[in-house]
Amino acid sequence: MRKDALVTGLALFAMFFGAGNLIFPPYLGMTSGSEWLVGFACFIFVDVVLSCVGIFALNAAGGANAAIEGTLGRVPGLIMNTAAILCTGVLIATPRTAATTYEMAVMPLFGDGMGLALFSVLFFALVLALTFRQSRVVGIIGKVLTPLLVLGIIVLVVAGIVSPIGDIGAPRSVHVAQDGILAGYQAMDIIACVGFAIVVQDAIRADGYTARRSQMKVMALASCVAGVLLALIYGGLTYLGAMTGLSFGPELNQAQLIVEITKHLMGEAGVVVLGVVVGLACLTTAIGLTGATAAYFERVTRGRLPYRAGVLIVIGCGLLICNLGLEAIIALATPILSVVCPPFMTTVVLILFLRRIHTTWAYKGAALGALLASLVIVAHDSFGLAPFVTALPLYEFGFSWLPFAVAGGVIGWLAAKPAGRARDLLDAPVEKAVEAEGSPIG
């Protein structure tokens, strides 16, 4: 069992460890300076801890789709899952892969001779060709690239420890904890855990684990393996970034920073290797996201949006958004993810208590409270429309929506009993899914 858990954990680590996510920890370290551990802790909590907990919780509840739609209701669950797919597959992650490749692979190697517009056309033309006709080459490259990328990052971190880039200075940011939370949102692993949970569950079943207890044990161990590895890699990258605060200028963006760190520690040859590996890894990620997104919309529209039409739409959106540039994409993603992630995180965490909370109203109330609070907070952070939010509890830590999620959940739970809905979850699809796996709730 331990060997299977280790293999599954490594696979889960590979799914979470996207090339595009490499750009956030070093930049967080640079802006956090001497408080880099605070920013890193917040980043890890949102991106790694909650994502790994989500993988376990969703599978413990009988399956990702059944868990989300069963606790929130079919329509709210569908809306939440669709919002997650739009973020990962259409609006943010897919165009970001092209923009990151341009700034980490094309610019360092060829300068600005090839503009982003031309490069994005070539990038997405390749994505289109390999998504329309799935090729085993894509899978093989993906399996090879992740180990190479991990090895390269380990070498980079060790080189930075042996030969420090510089002293760690004072923080450049006055909101280090919030920066860590937002970086965790940008990594988007928390909203990707629905799809990952399905893949991991299928893999564990394929290994011969049919009993729920043994499946959950393997799942728990695998989540721990993935979490520890991610924390070590991201911790090293954040530390490298913290050492650049006094040495590198603030004009560098996220992708440029890691390129400069690599150049400083490993020379031009290191930049070339990193750029090529990251570029190919981003390409395989874009192919996977495009195919998964098109397949999702074909399923939810019952074939009215065919797979190939979905691929064309995703690629068209990616092409347009990519040309905004990496910094603009990250800026665009911040308010969107700050609205989408809190209700998603709230629901995933509450699913852990599925055996104790038997009313869908508690889940709906908590998610609605998190959503409404996040909308108001984002309205203030983006446009200054609600200055009172700065006085809310946990605002400095980026969790000022949490008390509203708790309040919404409590109100929903209290209102369910007089409405005769105190145990309605026991008749919901999630209960049937869990019973089918031999692990009844309650």
The per-residue DSSP string of 256-286 comes to: HHHHHHHHHHHHHHHHHHHHHHHHHHHHHHH
Here the CATH number for the domain that contains residue 140 is: 1.20.1740.10
pLDDT at 63: 67
Backbone CA torsion sign across 341, 345, 348, 350: negative
Can you give the length of the chain in residues? 442
pTM of this structure: 0.88
Give 2-19 pLDDT, tens digit per residue.
788 888 888 888 888 877
Among 92, 83, 89, 52, smallest CA distance to 340 is for 83
Q: Scan for tokens 């006709």, then name that residue.
A: 133
Is 375 within a domain? Answer: no
Computed over every residue of the chain, the mean pLDDT equals 87
Question: How many C-beta atoms surround the C-beta of residue 147 within 10 A?
Answer: 11
Amino acid (1-letter code) at residue 266: M
Is 345 within a domain? Answer: no
- Cβ within 8 Å of residue 257, ≥6 positions away: 23, 26, 27, 30, 241, 244, 248
Give 319-353 pLDDT, tens digit per residue.
999 999 999 999 999 999 999 999 999 999 999 88
Is 195 within a domain? Answer: yes
Total domain count for the chain? 1
Report the C-alpha gap between 65 and 76 in whole angstroms.
12
Report the C-alpha gap between 228 and 209 in whole angstroms.
24
Range of the domain at 154: 2-339
For 170-174, 268-272, 393-397, 423-427, which range has the lowest pLDDT when averaged over its residues? 423-427
Is 344 within a domain? Answer: no
Residue 106: DSSP 8-state: I
Report the C-alpha gap between 410 and 422 in whole angstroms.
12
The band of 138, judged by pLDDT with boundaries at 50, 70 and 90, is: low
Is the Cβ–Cβ distance between 325 and 99 less than 8 Å? Answer: yes
Is 374 within a domain? Answer: no
- Cβ within 8 Å of residue 147, ≥6 positions away: none
pLDDT at 140: 61
Report the C-alpha gap between 400 and 213 in whole angstroms.
37
Is 120 within a domain? Answer: yes
pLDDT at 134: 54
Is 396 within a domain? Answer: no
Is 385 within a domain? Answer: no
pLDDT at 50: 92
Q: Scan for tokens 């690239």, then name that residue.
A: 145
